[in-house]
Every structure is written in structure tokens, then in C-alpha cells.
Copies of this chain bind each other. A is one copy, B any other.
Amino acid sequence: MLFIFSLRRYILEINLDRIIEQFNLMSNVGIDSNGGITRLALSQEDKEARDLLVSWMKNVGLSIRVDDVGNIYGRREGSVSDAKPIVLGSHLDSIEDSGQFDGVMGILAALEVVRVLNDYSIKTKRPIEIVNFTNEEGIRFKNLMTGSGVLSQDYDIESVYNEKDAHGKTFLDELKAINYLGKKEHRLLEAKAFVELHIEQGPILDSEKISIGAVEGTLGANWLQVKVVGEESNSGPTPMYVRKDPLISTAKLILEINKLVKEIGERAIITIGDVKVKPGNINTVPGEVTFLVDVRGENEKENNLGVELVIEKLKTIAKEYEVQIEFKTLRSAEPAVFSPEIVDTIFSAADKLGYSVKRMVSGAGHNSSFMNNICPTAMIFVPSVDGKSHNPKELTRWTDIEKGANTLLYTTLNLMT
């Protein structure tokens, strides 16, 4: 607190124009004709974005290192050289035809924090490290948040290296091809704190007209694939009373599973994202239906409860409708509960700066979910207009980005002690 007031006398604040200038340069990398961004991990576009970042890191005097999974670090030394660093960052990779804000804003805001400190010749006690994590999106190579997941040892580096993209190219070969294979000893092993600024990607802040989210954690995510097997037959000759139609059972399951969220928790979500029908003819009673379920809870209890309730429902409906149901878990990610101290620091910084701010939980996973396993972590959310994200319509207002970056600046300073 003291820090904020004393610094405000020096009018210490971020310069939005510099962020916008870099944003415009970065948005040129991998831009589609419709304004969407395609910067798949370890692609030529990713390399170009990384090269741009490295040049900017050098310009602001950071010392660069790259680790064995391709994470890029830019370090600004502190006055106490062996003090654990404050780490800020996010990712530059994108899904196909994504928006311009996702990931990028966390990197650009962190760079601006360093520039402001440079402007005022402020030497902090602790080092500051800016990090760009490899393959957050998990599109080209399927491990979501690969860079932070390797740091937290949730992923084994050898498995990551051997992972192939749709064209059979391995992660390792592609990492080498873009010249970002670094050294294992360059990995970040510990930190005083990790803080990630990110767009919300959801509608909560925008609809409530709040500028800053102090993110207390991320929902856990359990992904299930469910197969419902009935009896295929010709529609016309097969009277209704003899059918064992797996699509009717699936419809019932979709409705019942959707209702379960109320029993799990206020912020719990359940999504059925795809249904595939076999054989899929207009005049054939289907024989088999497969669907995908994404269940997320705010804490471990909710997370487990969600899966239990879904599985229980599968069994009940299977019995009632006389169909066979098989399921398998495609992914199981624990919820992350972030550092209450850092959440408080973020909330307090935003509040003292006069910004509207609320504590909230992230529905999506982020690098922070894994970073939380190795050091105290929290996130700063800025609003996404209409909650739109992962598409060219993704938008965060510059006024909110300015507030987010200032919140990141004061949070960083307040974590120095």
C-alpha cells in the first residue's frame, strides 16, 4: 500500500501508446485476411513472434535465456542478486483463426512494466523475469500449456519431444527447426511469485462492467468420451416400440448431464461439445452415438463430484433405455487454487488505483494453473467484450488494458518485499 502512494507521487504509470505500438507489430505476425491470428506453436509464425519478443527484450536490457522446452526468459536483475524473482508472462502462440489479444497481452504488459521501471531508473530488490511459454494452446501438439507443464513436471520432456503434429513432425524437430531448443539448466525452478495478465475470454467482467479480475484459481477440467450403443435398423420398417435408439438416450443424457451443474457448484460448468452419430443416415435408426463431455469444478471436491455425477447418470440412463454405455477419460486436470496473498495484492492494487475489481475464478486453464505448482501464483483478468475469444472478434478495450497493465505494475512492486 505504502508503495502505491509513494510511487503515485512520481506519477509512475504505464504508457499505453508503447503497448499499442508493440501490439500492432505483433498482430502482423500470422494475421489472416479476416483479422484472425494463426500462430500455431513452433510454426514459422511462432518463430517470427518469438524473434520479435527477443528483440524487444534486448532493447529493454533484459538478458535472454531459452530452456529445453523452448520457453523464453528475459531477466532484469534486482539489487539482491540471489533473491527469488518475480515472474511475469504468458504466451504468444494461438489456435487457428484466433483473436489478437489472447496470451499476447500478458507479455506486452510485462514488457511495459520493465520499461516504466527503466524510465524511472528504479532498481527493484528482486529480479524480474518475463517468460513466454511454449505451446499454451495445445492445438498443433496436444499437450495443453506444454511450457509451464514441463516446468511443473506435469509433463515429461521426452514425451513432449516425441509428440507429433498432424503431419508427423515431432515437437523436438520443430523446436530445433525454429532455433528455440535451449538448455534444461535454463528452466525456471523457483520464484517469489508468478503473475499472468490475460484476457478473461468470458463475459463476466464485461457484463458486470468491471475492469479487473483478481483471479483466485482455475477450474479443474475432466474430459470424457462417451459411447452409447443401441441397435441400428431401417427407420421405416422398424416400429417405435422395438427400437433401441442410442440417439434418444443421448438426448436424454445431454439434458440430464446439463442439469447436474446445479448440484456441483455455482461456477461449475458442463459442456457437451460434440456428438457423432453412426451411421448417420436420415432413414436409419442409429446404432451408435459418441459424445464428448467437459466437466469443470472450482475445487477438487467439485471436480470429482462432477465426474461422479456424470458417470452415475450414464449408468442410470443406460439401464432405463436398455443401451450399452462405455466411457473413457480423455483428460483430467486438477483445479488450481492460487495464492491468496497475491490475489489480495492484485485486488488491493487495482482498488487503490481506483479501478473496479472483483475476485473471480477462471473457467479456462492457463499457464498459471501449472506455475501454481512451483511458486505462489495469481492472474489478472481484463474484460473480453461480449465474452468473445478464440476468434477474430476477440476484443479488449484499451482503457481496460491500461488499467490491467497498471495493476500488474503495482502488483509487481508490492511483491518485491
Binding site for B on A (CB under 8 A): 200-204, 207, 218-219, 221, 223, 232-240, 242, 245, 247-248, 250-252, 254-255, 258, 261, 267-275, 277, 280-286, 292-294, 296, 330, 362-365, 384, 387-391
Contacts A234-B364, A237-B362 aside, 6 further interface pairs with beta carbons under 8 A come to: A202-B238, A234-B363, A236-B364, A237-B389, A240-B270, A273-B283
Kindly identify which residue among B200, B273, B277 contacts A273, using a CB–CB cutoff of 8 Å: B277
How many copies of this chain does one complex carry? 2
Kindly identify which residue among B267, B269, B283 contacts A235, using a CB–CB cutoff of 8 Å: B269
B274 and A282 within 8 A (CB): yes
Q: Whose C-beta in chain B lies nearest to the C-beta of A287?
A: B391
Q: Whose C-beta in chain B lies nearest to the C-beta of A365?
A: B236
B240 and A261 within 8 A (CB): yes
Residues of chain B contacted by A362 (CB below 8 angstroms)? 236-237
Q: Whose C-beta in chain B lies nearest to the C-beta of A267?
A: B239
Kindly identify which residue among B245, B268, B292 contacts A282, using a CB–CB cutoff of 8 Å: B292
Kindly identify which residue among B201, B236, B247, B274 contacts A221, using a CB–CB cutoff of 8 Å: B236
Q: With A and B bound together, what is the CA distance between A33 and B250 in angstroms?
A: 33
Within the complex, the shortest CB–CB distance from A404 to chain B, in Å, comes to 16
Q: Whose C-beta in chain B lies nearest to the C-beta of A225?
A: B282
B254 and A387 within 8 A (CB): no
Q: With A and B bound together, what is the CA distance between A293 and B282 in angstroms?
A: 7
Residues of chain B contacted by A234 (CB below 8 angstroms)? 201-202, 363-364, 389-390
Residues of chain B contacted by A293 (CB below 8 angstroms)? 282
B273 and A275 within 8 A (CB): no
Within the complex, the shortest CB–CB distance from A295 to chain B, in Å, comes to 10
6 closest A-B pairs by CB: A202-B237, A236-B363, A236-B364, A251-B254, A235-B271, A274-B280
Q: With A and B bound together, what is the CA distance between A248 and B254 in angstroms?
A: 7
Residues of chain B contacted by A274 (CB below 8 angstroms)? 277, 280-282, 286
Residues of chain B contacted by A255 (CB below 8 angstroms)? 248, 251-252, 255
Q: With A and B bound together, what is the CA distance between A238 and B240 in angstroms?
A: 38
Q: Whose C-beta in chain B lies nearest to the C-beta of A256?
A: B251
Residues of chain B contacted by A240 (CB below 8 angstroms)? 261, 268-270
Residues of chain B contacted by A207 (CB below 8 angstroms)? 242
Q: With A and B bound together, what is the CA distance between A292 and B286 in angstroms?
A: 12
Within the complex, the shortest CB–CB distance from A63 to chain B, in Å, comes to 35
A239 and B271 within 8 A (CB): no
Kindly identify which residue among B268, B277, B281, B388 contacts A233, using a CB–CB cutoff of 8 Å: B388
Q: With A and B bound together, what is the CA distance between A235 and B201 in angstroms?
A: 10
24 contacts between A and B (CB under 8 A): A202-B233, A202-B234, A202-B239, A207-B242, A221-B236, A233-B389, A234-B363, A235-B269, A235-B271, A235-B363, A236-B269, A240-B270, A245-B271, A247-B275, A248-B254, A248-B258, A251-B255, A255-B255, A271-B282, A271-B283, A273-B283, A273-B286, A275-B275, A282-B330
Residues of chain B contacted by A387 (CB below 8 angstroms)? 233, 237-238, 242
Within the complex, the shortest CB–CB distance from A268 to chain B, in Å, comes to 8
Within the complex, the shortest CB–CB distance from A1 to chain B, in Å, comes to 31
A284 and B275 within 8 A (CB): no
Residue among A255, A293, A365 having the largest count of chain B Cβ atoms under 10 Å: A255
Q: With A and B bound together, what is the CA distance between A254 and B228 in angstroms?
A: 16
Residues of chain B contacted by A285 (CB below 8 angstroms)? 271, 273
